[in-house]
Amino acid sequence: MFSPLGLVGRSVHTLEGIDNAAINEAVIKRRGIKLDESLGNTFYEDSFYPDTEACNHLIQKVDAVIALEVNRYFVTQNKWAHILAPGESTMYHSHGNPKLPTGISWVYYTQVPKDSGNIVWTFDMCTKRVMQELEPKPGMLVLFPDFVPHFTKRNGSSKDRVSISGNAYPAQEDYDKVGRDPQNLFNYIGIFAE
């Protein structure tokens, strides 16, 4: 019987009917409201996500994709905006929290000038370094395990790149249900339950 020693996955989706211009306008107005003002903390790069009709519609669409493609019990628990100015890059980091079960991280791109920074996932598997790179496009949604380290290459354009990110987890009362009905969760995180 075949059994993988390691497996993590990601998926790429295109979302239709999202008002990227309205999201960008709301996000850019709040670009100075950071999740954390401490230099060196990856939250310093991130801004609070606005509570507008267009922004809330995006979260509903993302959660619908996660429910269909990953697991019906997962919903976005936290979200933020990320504005990558010309010349900036995003630090190497992961979203995983050892105090929480494994979740699904996601990023949606609303404004992507040419050469404004690819996302790169990188980690060690046994003695091999894995590096996978993806060129973002407006309207692209990417789902991946919250524990996989990643970074964004330097924005080589003359304009801001705007993305929205978040993490999805099951509600506390649904943890047991996920293990009994994993759907496609195994394809992403490589395990059914912790």
**Quick one: pLDDT at residue 66?**
98
Backbone phi, psi, residue 117, to 5°: 110, 110
Q: How many Cβ atoms from other residues are within 10 Å of residue 93's Cβ?
A: 13
pLDDT at 43 over 90: no
pLDDT in tens, 80-117: 999 999 999 999 999 988 888 889 999 999 999 999 99
pLDDT in tens, 114-162: 999 999 999 888 888 989 999 999 999 999 999 999 999 999 999 999 9
Report the alpha-carbon distance of residue 62 to residue 107 in Å, rounded.
9
Whether this model's pTM surpasses 0.95 = no
In contact, 159 and 116? CB cutoff 8 Å: yes
Report the alpha-carbon distance of residue 8 to residue 161 in Å, rounded.
27
**Quick one: pLDDT at residue 44?**
64
**Quick one: pLDDT at residue 36?**
66
**E strand or H helix at 20:** helix 20-29
pLDDT at 35 over 80: no
